[in-house]
Amino acid sequence: DARVTQTPRHKVTEMGQEVTMRCQPILGHNTVFWYRQTMMQGLELLAYFRNRAPLDDSGMPKDRFSAEMPDATLATLKIQPSEPRDSAVYFCASGLSTQGSGANVLTFGAGSRLTVL
């Protein structure tokens, strides 16, 4: 089965350090999403891309977070500087989508668990 690959699976870092999470979407998918999962907030949408172009990053704290797709096989989510409140599991998901069709399925990666001390 095709899968979305995320690295690292686990990351422990100290406050103030830069963190970069990577995602390899499924080949042929044209949308990529970043979600953050915490006990308190549940699943929050941070950003998403279609055909590598950012469509919406309104859910992301702009001062420290950035999301990019340097090419079709790689999406990155960067936090600089990191803070303890960024501790969460970050999920990447990809899908094949056309506008007006909300039925297409997203495939999620296994997540990157970030702990900021």
Binding-site ranges for another protein (CB under 8 A) = 4, 31, 33, 35, 42-43, 45, 48, 50, 55-56, 91, 93, 95, 97, 99-111
Structure tokens at 41: 């907030």
For another protein, the closer of residues 8 and 16 by Cβ is 8
For another protein, the closer of residues 81 and 89 by Cβ is 89
Residue type, 110: A
Residue type, 105: V
For another protein, the closer of residues 71 and 101 by Cβ is 101
Interatomic CA distance for residues 90 and 116, integer angstroms: 13
74 phi/psi in degrees, rounded to 5: -145, 130
Are the C-beta atoms of residues 74 and 55 closer than 8 Å to each other? no
Interatomic CA distance for residues 46 and 57, integer angstroms: 6
Q: Minimum CB separation from another protein for residue 93, in Å?
A: 8
For another protein, the closer of residues 18 and 56 by Cβ is 56
Q: Minimum CB separation from another protein for residue 94, in Å?
A: 9
Name the 3-class secondary structure at 84.
Answer: helix
Q: Minimum CB separation from another protein for residue 98, in Å?
A: 8
